[in-house]
Every structure is written in structure tokens, then in C-alpha cells.
Amino acid sequence: MKYHRSSKAARRSGGYDPDALISSYDLKADEVSSVKKAVLDAVKPHPAERARLEEARERLLKEVAEAAAGLGETEVYPVPVGSAARSTWLRGNHDIDIFITFPETLSKEELTVRGCAIAEKLAETADHREDRHSEHPYIHIRKYGFEIDLVPCFRVPDASCIKSAVDRTPFHCRFIKERIAGREDDVLLLKQFMKGAGVYGSEVRNRGFSGYASELLVIFYGSFDEVIKAAAQWKPGVFIDIMDHGNVSFDDPLVMIDPTDPGRNVSAALSLDRFMKLADHARAFIRRPDVSFFFREKTLPYSDEEILSVFEKRGTYFTAIRFRSPKKADDTLYPQLFRMENSVRETLENNDFKVIRTLSYGDDEECVILIELLSGLLPPVRVKDGPPVSAHPNSDAFREKYVAAGDTYSIFIRNGCYIAEIPRRYRTPESVIRDKTGTEIALGKHIREALSDGWDILSGEEILKIGSEGFRTALRETMERTLPERSCAGSEIIIG
């Protein structure tokens, strides 16, 4: 998608021109102060939590340094990163991230082997350990009551010459720490507000705002209030370049040039809908400030009765493709699921089916692509639009084909074009899906492999066979998706 790029002045202000703000989306500081206080009371870490975390972090840094020394590593420095390192974590979000930095002269393999060897030393005394993997392997442990990631990375001169995606993180952390002092509460409020809007989290499945993006927004606009006022006026194409050093252009709805890397958009993973959702949420909040905007309802999974009732109430046709999960991380699985979901929709629409909603779901056990259609049965006759009669000699081929075909219902001229009425090949969505999956319905590598073990098409009541709570929760969210002032039927508000 290509958005209009606004003037330099507007670009530097992230599409927000305070002079143009007539008052329609002004935020009265006094009106919201009690709301903000209540939210902070709920989400700001207690002093005791903060002290415990800081103490744990210091011990861990010391342990990494000692382990490195014990292994004869001389140029290894541990660096605390993440929200815990910059005091912008939400209460109870007990994650400590420690990056074990090595000189960039190492190979990736050496980095991983030597970094994990150091991490293993700490894991020996941990309550729990796990091997994890992003671009390269790292180790996750539980110790001193905290969840801890110990991640080997390269120490590079600046973020534009990273050797591995994680190498950027220490630069982000330093940039934020140098500027966020005194505005940590604004970051907590914004993160929680994003959670309330359902737009927090930049993983592929969610396509929302990252923690780093929320911190940059507070630094750029100045405070939580100013972010809200600006977001209320966002249109796709907002451009934010704090260091005024961006050197590439992007077509994303929100472009935030990474202050540590002029070639990167921090919000590249943000979807148009999550972006506009925050704008919508900000406008609604400005109109009627309330604590509820910060706390998203927890959706409960649909029961069998609820699924049948929603099918009945909507009166549409539901069909689902189900298969055993390829058991990949969400960031690998979901792009393939989304691609399949889009391809299923397009293929059905190319065959005259009217698709109302689609939903992708995947967990460790199973994956589901659910499709809601206007109808599950099309008539036997199909109208095939041909070329203009005047586009001869090419139009002759269309004419000859359907004049000659024994099963043509009729062939005639409408609006100057040939029209043939022919027998319909696919009268049901199931027959399209059965015939086209793996060909016209494109499949990613892992889903293709998973399908080779077999797969189901479940229609109507058969969908009740899908027992997964995750799927049934996603189904309710899809069917009852609403803006903040309306509630899902089966949900309970979760504070914190």
C-alpha cells in the first residue's frame, strides 16, 4: 500500500500538528489524571518487586562475568537489556534479559557455542532451564523467582552493522535509557493502553506495537497524553524520525525510523488495522476517559452450544480446514497460516463464493483455517464473462469454445461482451478446497509437509469436533470482535 507522504514539518511531527488540533481530540489533563493514577496503581511495580528485580539482575550480571572468567573468556561483557533494564516493565512481568556480548570477530558458531557455555554455568543452579531459539540458540532459565533469557550476541560498533538480529538490542536499550528518565510512568501507561486496545506485541501473530516502539513514541511526543492526542489524529503514512537520519522510504502505515539504524522501520511488523485500532482507541478514550480502556477483557472459549447458537444467529455457512500442527514457533507458523488463509479466500472468491470472514489458528497440536461464507451451495449454472465482441480475432476463441461445447446453457451478447452460461464445476466450497489445496491454494513449506499426513474439511456442526480452547477463544474473538465500549458476551474483565 502506498501512502501520501506529507510535508517535512508534518513528517517530523509524526503527522501531528498541534496548531491544527482545534479541540476535537484534545485531552484535558485534569480529566484523565485520576484515570492514570488508578491505572498506575494497578500496573506499576511495587518498590519491593523493583528491589527484588534489581538485586537479582546484579547477581546475574556478576555470575555471567564470573562464569566467563572461569571459562577463560577475556573479552566478554554482560549487558542488561529489556524493560527490566530501563524500569519500564509492567507489574508481574518478571522477565530479565541479559545479553552476553562477544567481539564481532567471532564466527556465529563460535558465538553460540561459547555464549551458551557461559549461560550453562548459570543454568546449573537454576530452578528450570530451556533451550530456546530465535535467529540463533540461547538459554532460558528460572532463578531467584524470575524468568531469565541469557542471549549471546556480537558487540558491533553501531546498530547498522549487526551480524545477528539480536545485536541491535543493546543499542536500543542504551538509546531509551539515556532519554526515558522521568517518563517511565508514561511508558507504563502507554503499554497498558495498547494492551487495552489489543495492539501491544509485535510478534507476527499479533502484528501490533513493540515495547521499543511504545518507548520511542513517548520520547518523540513527550508524554502519554501527547501520544494519545497525536494517535487520535493518525492517518496511514505517519512518519517519525527522531534522529532525522532516515535514509530509505517505506510504505508502512507507521514509519518510525530506528534512531540507532537509519535504514530500518521499527514498526515494520505493525498492521494497518492495529495502527488504526490505536487511533480509534485514543479517540474513544479522549471522548470518555475511563480506566476500562486500559484493560482488555479476557475472552472465554466458546462452548458447543455457543458455537451452534452463533451459526444459527448468523445464518451463514461455516467450513474449516484442520490439520496436525507442524509445531513451529508462531513467527514461522503464522506467516504460512496467513498466506494460506488469504489464498483460500481468493480461490473461493474466484469460484464465485462470497467469503464473509476468515480466521487462522495454530497451536502445538493443530491448525485451523475457518471460512464463513454467504452460502455453501451455488447453482449448477455459472455465468462466464467473455471478452468484448469487438476484440476479434481474440474474442473468436471464446465464442467458438462455448458455441461448440455440448453442455453450454446459452451464449449471448451483453453490454457488448460475450457471455456464456456453462455448467458450474464447483458448487460447494469443500469441493474447491479439496481440489485446489496445494496448487491454486498456495502452501508454505511446513504446512505443505503437515498436510501430507492428511487433513480434514469440517463443515457446519462438524466444526464442534475442534475442541482446542485456543481455537474456540479465537472464534469468539472473531465473531464478537467489537470496539471498546461494547463487550463480548463471554468475557470477563481482567485487571493487571
Residues at the interface with its own copies (CB under 8 A): 24-25, 232-236, 253, 272-273, 275-277, 279-280, 283, 313-316, 356, 374-375, 378-381, 383, 388-390, 392-393, 396, 399, 403, 408-416, 479-483, 485-486
Q: How far is the CB of 412 from its own copies (least distance, A)?
A: 4
| Pick 381 or 495: Cβ nearer its own copies | 381
**Cα 246 to the center of its chain, rounded Å:** 24
Q: How far is the CB of 275 from its own copies (least distance, A)?
A: 8
| Pick 43 or 420: Cβ nearer its own copies | 420
Residue 307's contacts (CB-CB under 8 Å, 6 or more residues apart) are 463, 464, 472, 475
| Pick 340 or 378: Cβ nearer its own copies | 378
Q: Which of 213, 219, 199, 357 is nearest to 276 (CA)?
A: 199
DSSP structural state of residue 276: H
Cα 342 to Cα 117, 177, 369, 448: the distances in Å are: 43, 41, 10, 16
| Pick 136 or 399: Cβ nearer its own copies | 399
| Pick 38 or 276: Cβ nearer its own copies | 276
Q: How far is the CB of 301 from its own copies (least distance, A)?
A: 17
Q: How far is the CB of 460 from its own copies (least distance, A)?
A: 13
| Pick 294 or 318: Cβ nearer its own copies | 318
Cα 315 to Cα 90, 234, 311, 458, 460: the distances in Å are: 43, 37, 6, 17, 11
Q: How far apart are CA 58 and CA 280, in angstroms?
A: 41
Q: How far is the CB of 368 from its own copies (least distance, A)?
A: 20
| Pick 249 or 487: Cβ nearer its own copies | 487
Angle value at C-alpha 461, between 460 and 463, nearest 5 degrees:
80
Q: How far is the CB of 395 from its own copies (least distance, A)?
A: 9
Neighbours of 163 (CB within 10 A): 16
Q: How far is the CB of 467 from its own copies (least distance, A)?
A: 24
Alpha helices (H) in 21-159, listed in sequence order: 29-43, 47-70, 108-123
Query: CB-side exposure of 449: number of CA atoms within 13 Å?
Result: 8
